[in-house]
Amino acid sequence: MKPNKVILKNKLRVITAPLPVKSSTALILVKVGSRNETKKYNGIAHFAEHMFFKGTKKRPTALDISSLIDGIGGEFNAFTSKEFTGFYIKSAAAHLNLALDVLSDMLLNALVKKEEVERERNVVLEERRMYLDTPMRYISEVFESLLYGDHPLGWDTVGTEKSLQNITRESFLEYMNTYYHPNNMLVVVSGEVKQGKTELLVDEYLGGIKPREIPSFLPAKYNQAKPAVKLFYKDTEQAHMCLGVRSYQTGHPDRYVVSLIHTILGANMSSRLFIELRERRGLAYYVRSGVEEYLDTGAFAAQAGVHQKKIEDSIQVILSEFKKLAEEEISEVELKKAKEYLKGRLILDLEDSREVATLFGLQELLEHKTRTPEEIFKNIDKVTRKDILRVSKDLFKNESLNLAIIGPYKKEGRFLNLLNF
């Protein structure tokens, strides 16, 4: 499966990825996220994502937009991360024209009415409060604030109570006028698509906007020389923790090694952490690992929710599993199983036009190139047991450890003393 890329005259990249299905997904990605924000307007990237759905000149209300997509049985949504924002509509392929019409209309002609800004501000504030009341999710934000400190990568994507109050219609318009330009965007259409015709449709709807220079983001800076702990006090029934290390940036040569380490440690129900923490010791209901890649940095972490009195035991178990990977070569059987898991999950994703659009779209947006599934499989298969050991040694060091905890704790020293192999 090889996607096709066309660059329009206004520098907008258009990617088509045909699939033998009856659906199509139109996805517009913009290379801007919360790491592009200032502290005063922290949260504007996510807030703006909401405002694009609130009406255009052609379709003045949110109901006008949602009724159109609901009327064809389509799925539509958006998402905001630290480095990109995405908007998509998945529908029967016969409605691709309408999907592109609606998406382009939303991004080019959003009304951003003052009264809608005020109304939606309350919605976003409630969304933020929901995240704060969901420690299983919010622990990742606490962990990144520990890693990156007072840097946009360390701020909450949704913003703060104070910063959300600073955002006005005028700041939205300035933000959109700064980042929403064709040379900072791309369109991906996956599913039942006709190459040539699809590019003409995109050109019709988005070919008229002009490119402009896009401001650069603030590079990530850190100089960690010893373990670090951050506590977020909350009177919870369960302690939620995220224990991890700094890892590699997007496109790093060892990215597939890290993905396999993640698979071995905590990607599924037969992973080492799941077996050790849950099945053997009964310490946690949920336990998992994860990898986060940014353009100039990255992180790897294990996450779990445990009984308040069992948190020290759980930390030591996770550290023990990190240490094993950094000291002992894994078996060929375990490595093969991890490889087959990664490849198998990708094969399942390839059956979904939205997953395919996201796969190729993010590669192109962030790396200016795409890798076919076959190329990804080859890169996975190249990884050796020695690679797993080498990268584990590089990642899992005492001085690189970072621990974030949400729970009824106030003394960091209690946990800092645990952070050594």
Q: Tell me: the pLDDT tens digits for 161-189?
A: 999 999 999 999 999 999 999 999 999 99
User: Tell me: the pLDDT tens digits for 364-415?
Assistant: 999 999 999 999 999 999 999 999 999 999 999 999 999 999 999 999 999 9
Q: In this structure, is residue 188 part of a structural domain?
A: yes
Are 263 and 197 part of one and the same domain? Answer: no
Q: Of 221-225, 259-263, 379-383, give the lowest mean pLDDT range.
A: 221-225
Query: From CA 10, how far away is CA 187, in angstroms rounded?
Result: 13
Q: In this structure, is residue 43 part of a structural domain?
A: yes
Measured CA to CA in angstroms, residue 407 lies from 29, 39, 316, 404 at distances of 36, 27, 18, 10
Residue pair 210/183 in contact (Cβ under 8 Å)? The answer is no
> Of the residues 206, 239, 267, which one is the last residue of a structural domain?
206
Q: In this structure, is residue 277 part of a structural domain?
A: yes
| Locus of tokens 């699939």 | 19
Q: Tell me the Cα Rg of the chain.
A: 22
Whose CA is closest to 164, among 344, 42, 309, 290?
42
Query: Quick one: what percent of the chain has pLDDT higher than 90?
Result: 98
The CB density around residue 135, as the number of other CB atoms within 10 Å, is 21
292: which 2 tokens?
A: 């986060």
Are 65 and 33 part of one and the same domain? Answer: yes
* Dihedral sign from CA coordinates of 142, 144, 148, 152: negative
Are 28 and 138 part of one and the same domain? Answer: yes
Are 75 and 13 part of one and the same domain? Answer: yes
Are 187 and 328 part of one and the same domain? Answer: no
Residue 74, pLDDT > 90, answer yes
Whose CA is closest to 214, among 175, 176, 179, 171?
179
User: Tell me: the pLDDT tens digits for 191-201?
Assistant: 999 989 999 99
Query: Quick one: what percent of the chain has pLDDT higher than 70?
Result: 100
Query: Burial letters for 21-37: b for 16+ Cβ neighbours within 10 Å, e otherwise?
Result: eebbbbbbbbbbbbbbb
E-state strands within 159-307: 185-191, 228-233, 238-246, 284-293, 298-307
> Of the residues 171, 206, 241, which one is the last residue of a structural domain?
206
Residue 222, pLDDT > 90, answer no
Q: What is the mean pLDDT of residues 77-103?
A: 98
Beta pairing partners, 90: 25, 75
Are 195 and 321 part of one and the same domain? Answer: no
Are 248 and 343 part of one and the same domain? Answer: yes
Q: In this structure, is residue 212 part of a structural domain?
A: no
Are 151 and 263 part of one and the same domain? Answer: no
Side-chain half-sphere CA neighbours of 248 within 13 A: 15
What pLDDT sits at residue 264? 99
DSSP assignment of 169-198: HHHHHHHHHHH-SGGGEEEEEEES--TTHH
Are 201 and 240 part of one and the same domain? Answer: no
DSSP letter at 152 equals G
Mean pLDDT, the chain, rounded, equals 98
Residue pair 73/92 in contact (Cβ under 8 Å)? The answer is yes
Residue pair 276/317 in contact (Cβ under 8 Å)? The answer is yes
Query: From CA 238, how far away is CA 284, in angstroms rounded?
Result: 10
Active-site positions? 49
Q: Is 159 left (phi over 0), alpha (psi -120 to 50) or beta?
A: left
Query: From CA 403, how far away is CA 299, in angstroms rounded?
Result: 12
Residue pair 131/158 in contact (Cβ under 8 Å)? The answer is yes
> Of the residues 176, 206, 236, which one is the last residue of a structural domain?
206
Q: First CA to last CA across the chain, in angstroms?
A: 44
CATH number at residue 298: 3.30.830.10
Q: In this structure, is residue 173 part of a structural domain?
A: yes
What pLDDT sits at residue 72? 98
Q: In this structure, is residue 166 part of a structural domain?
A: yes
Q: What is the mean pLDDT of residues 117-134?
A: 98
Residue pair 16/353 in contact (Cβ under 8 Å)? The answer is no
> pLDDT class for 307, splitting at 50, 70, 90?
very high
Cα dihedral 355, 305, 400, 267 in deg (nearest 10): -30
∠ CA 177-181-183 to the nearest 5 degrees? 150
∠ CA 34-37-42 to the nearest 5 degrees? 80
> pLDDT class for 300, splitting at 50, 70, 90?
very high
Relative orientation angle of helices 311-327 and 255-266, to the nearest 10 degrees: 130
Are 254 and 318 part of one and the same domain? Answer: yes
Residue 359, pLDDT > 90, answer yes
Q: What is the mean pLDDT of residues 63-79?
A: 98
Strands 402-407 and 228-233: parallel
What pLDDT sits at residue 221? 85
What pLDDT sits at residue 421? 87
E-state strands within 247-380: 284-293, 298-307
Are 281 and 411 part of one and the same domain? Answer: yes
Q: In this structure, is residue 55 part of a structural domain?
A: yes
Phi/psi at 165 (nearest 5 deg)?
Answer: -75, -20
Domain that holds residue 404: 228-416
Query: From CA 204, how far away is CA 185, in angstroms rounded?
Result: 16
Q: In this structure, is residue 34 part of a structural domain?
A: yes
User: What is the number of domains present in the chain?
Assistant: 2
What pLDDT sits at residue 223? 86
Are 200 and 292 part of one and the same domain? Answer: no
> pLDDT class for 1, splitting at 50, 70, 90?
confident
